[in-house]
Amino acid sequence: MIEKFLTTEQVADILQVHPFTILKFLKSGKLRGVKLGRVYRIKESDVQEFLESRMTRGSKTPPPTELHETKSEEQISNDQNLYILKKNDDEGGLPHYII
């Protein structure tokens, strides 16, 4: 079976990026392609592999390994290793605690 080859513009349309981005992926080796003279051609299967290699884990969250005890505000304010960063008043919201 003969596989279909795509231009950089066609791949850019599929991935919804600029054609120069596809050229950067090709030149850096992130995306496989064939250079014919001054232009590149990319196999459909190579585009699929490129996408699969960059897939993120989605919304599946790993199960919690252990439960942490929640500290009260008094315990937090007495903790010497805790720094409190407050948002600007115009942003509103709760203070951020960094351990």
Q: Cβ(40)–Cβ(8) under 8 Å? A: yes
Q: Higher confidence at residue 65 or residue 18?
A: 18
Q: How far apart are CA 21 and CA 9, in angstroms?
A: 10
pLDDT the model gives residue 35: 95
Q: Higher confidence at residue 9 or residue 95?
A: 9
Q: Higher confidence at residue 24 or residue 97?
A: 24
Give residues with Cβ within 8 angstroms of 99, minimum separation 6. Answer: 81, 82, 83
Q: What is the mean pLDDT of residues 65-83?
A: 55
Q: What is the pTM of this model?
A: 0.56
pLDDT the model gives residue 74: 56
Q: What is the mean pLDDT of the chain?
A: 78
Q: How far apart are CA 25 and CA 19, in angstroms?
A: 10
